[in-house]
């Protein structure tokens, strides 16, 4: 086996059975020009555009990047996880791939010459990819929140891996784009949680080498440029792991273009991208300035249409299961839309209606501010949850409102994927996938039965129990 870290979450794996490209975001930006590769990607090699196989871990644009996917040879064999709904398969057909194979949860498939791979699905839209060539085993956890029994099952099947790749920094905007008059509302998750999560997962699977991965980005759009200060560097992860102790595991920092082979070992760059990150980012921002300016021009003057907003979020609140307001989104979510004479647009989950008014309701959970051009585009494309990932949003949380806010965004993401469609929930495909992942279902039910707010239960998907209780301190 040989592999090359291309960037962020993209790997190029070479085996005796052919090459496997994973999560190709090869060029450009993601999420309305917010996310950019950092450290920068190497020059694209021809073989990266014509792999034998390509595997997409999940739907997010930093993993399934449409412009990059369209640049691949359409004859490439596509491997995707078999989730409970067919969205990803349809996306592959829309891109133009003809040879698409869905991988059932946990079922290893033989690629030939002793090489096998497996996809382990977790949550609504995450997976772990395993590649085993009979000598070395690679676990790519990327930003999957898998843990406990579900993760141990993979180790039971494949043994302790040679390599484990795992994310280590923020991939959503809480709490870095949030403000609140109550500091406690911003302490459900902090950057320490990501250290704990990385170390905790490595302790569970005990790889020979652990690689901080899936978080190599920077925010270059002017709306979120200031957020780079909160990003975790892989060297911080390496140091935290050294302090915490990972017996038998070496944490190796790999930059874009770095590689490993069974014969030669690691080939690592000697460029320090993090000691003076701001200078590097300034140079990168200057280089990308024309694209950023074009994005600003494209969004200028575009406003959100009230009827489109009302129709969209009315469908959402009516699709939610009974009790969603009482148990999760207990307070109204308010979007501030400056172009409107009635600028406070209210999504009231408990009462299942959407209204607009001159002043924000006093019982609101939050006040959400999004560039109208971005919000209009997201509604049109059924991607409003992705705005939360993008960091091009500012949210002012009221005391006691964080739980409702985070529940709102979580449920919105599930709805936009299609999981709240009754036809999906009643389908043989959905229940077949659920049965294969019944260990996860038992664990999720146990987590929901624990005491605490909805947001605290969600935080448990990111952190160790003691870190959540201590607010990550």
Q: How far is CA 472 from the centre of its chain?
A: 20
User: What angle do helix axes 372-381 and 289-299 make, rounded to 10 degrees?
Assistant: 80
Confidence of residue 471 (pLDDT cuts 50, 70, 90): very low
Question: What is the value of pTM for the model shown?
Answer: 0.94
3-state secondary structure of 269: coil
pLDDT of residue 411: 97
Confidence of residue 467 (pLDDT cuts 50, 70, 90): very low
Confidence of residue 473 (pLDDT cuts 50, 70, 90): very low
Per-residue pLDDT tens digits for 320-373: 999 998 899 999 999 999 999 999 999 999 999 999 999 999 999 999 999 999
pLDDT of 164 over the 60 cut: yes
pLDDT of residue 214: 96
pLDDT of residue 434: 96
In the chain, pLDDT over 90 holds for what percent of residues? 91
pLDDT of residue 455: 58
pLDDT of 221 over the 70 cut: yes
Residue at token pair 């180790």: 155
pLDDT of 469 over the 50 cut: no
pLDDT of 48 over the 50 cut: yes
**Do the Cβ atoms of 316 and 417 come closer than 8 Å?**
no
Give the CATH architecture of domain 306-421: 2-Layer Sandwich (3.30)
pLDDT of residue 451: 67
Query: Averaged over 289-298, what is the pLDDT?
Result: 97
**Do the Cβ atoms of 393 and 318 come closer than 8 Å?**
no
Mean pLDDT of the chain: 94
**Do the Cβ atoms of 77 and 99 come closer than 8 Å?**
yes
Residue at token pair 């907003």: 309
d(CA 83, CA 434): 9
pLDDT of residue 472: 30
Long-range contacts of 268-274 (CB under 8 A, 24+ apart): 271/39, 273/38, 273/39, 274/233, 274/234, 274/235
3-state secondary structure of 354: strand
Confidence of residue 468 (pLDDT cuts 50, 70, 90): very low
Both structure tokens of 99: 């040879």
Query: Averaged over 204-221, what is the pLDDT?
Result: 98
For 267, residues 6+ apart whose C-beta sits below 8 A from its C-beta are 258, 259, 260, 261
Per-residue pLDDT tens digits for 404-448: 999 999 999 999 999 999 999 999 999 999 999 999 988 887 776
Domain 2-290 sits in which CATH superfamily? Ribonuclease Z/Hydroxyacylglutathione hydrolase-like (3.60.15.10)
pLDDT of residue 252: 98
pLDDT of residue 461: 55
Pick the range with the lowest mean pLDDT from 87-91, 125-129, 157-161, 439-443.
439-443
3-state secondary structure of 294: helix
Domain residue spans in the chain? 2-290, 306-421
């Amino acid at each position: 086996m040989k592999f090359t870290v291309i960037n962020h979450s993209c790997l190029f794996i070479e085996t005796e059975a052919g090459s496997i490209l994973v999560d190709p975001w090869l060029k450009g930006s993601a999420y309305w020009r917010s996310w950019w590769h950092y450290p920068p990607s190497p020059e694209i090699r021809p073989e990266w555009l014509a792999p034998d196989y390509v595997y997409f871990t999940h739907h997010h644009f930093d993993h399934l990047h449409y412009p990059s996917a369209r640049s691949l040879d359409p004859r490439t064999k596509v491997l995707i996880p078999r989730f409970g709904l067919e969205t990803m398969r349809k996306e592959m057909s829309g891109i133009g791939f003809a040879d698409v194979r869905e991988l059932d949860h946990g079922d290893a498939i033989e690629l030939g010459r002793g090489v096998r791979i497996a996809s382990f699905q977790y949550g609504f839209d995450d997976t772990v990819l395993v590649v085993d060539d009979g000598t070395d085993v690679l676990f790519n956890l990327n930003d999957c929140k898998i843990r406990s029994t579900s993760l141990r099952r993979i180790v039971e099947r494949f043994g302790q891996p040679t390599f484990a790749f795992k994310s280590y920094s923020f991939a959503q905007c809480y709490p870095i784009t949030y403000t609140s008059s109550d500091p406690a509302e911003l302490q459900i998750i902090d950057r320490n949680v990501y250290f704990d999560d990385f170390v905790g997962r490595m302790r569970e699977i005990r790889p020979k080498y652990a690689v901080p991965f899936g978080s190599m980005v920077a925010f270059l759009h002017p709306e979120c440029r200031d957020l780079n200060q909160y990003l975790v560097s892989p060297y911080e992860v390496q140091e935290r792991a050294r302090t915490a102790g990972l017996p038998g595991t070496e944490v190796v920092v790999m930059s874009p273009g770095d590689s490993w082979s069974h014969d030669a070992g690691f080939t690592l760059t000697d460029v320090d991208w993090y000691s003076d990150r701001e200078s590097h980012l300034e140079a990168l921002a200057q280089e990308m300035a024309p694209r950023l300016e074009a994005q600003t021009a494209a969004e200028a003057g575009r406003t959100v249409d009230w009827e489109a907003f009302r129709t969209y979020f009315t469908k959402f609140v009516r699709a939610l299961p009974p009790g969603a307001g009482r148990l999760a989104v207990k307070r109204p979510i308010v979007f501030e839309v400056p172009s409107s004479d009635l600028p406070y647009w209210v999504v009231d989950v408990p009462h299942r209606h959407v209204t607009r008014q001159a002043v924000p309701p006093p019982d609101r959970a939050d006040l959400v501010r999004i560039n109208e051009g971005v919000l209009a585009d997201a509604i049109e494309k059924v991607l409003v949850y992705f705005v939360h990932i993008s960091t091009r949003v500012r949210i002012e949380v009221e005391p006691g409102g964080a739980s409702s806010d985070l529940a709102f965004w979580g449920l919105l993401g599930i709805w936009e994927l299609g999981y709240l469609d009754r036809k999906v929930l009643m389908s043989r495909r959905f229940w077949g996938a659920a049965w294969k992942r019944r260990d996860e279902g038992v664990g999720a039910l146990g987590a929901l039965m624990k005491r605490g707010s909805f947001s605290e239960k969600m935080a448990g998907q990111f952190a160790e129990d003691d870190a959540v209780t201590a607010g990550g301190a």
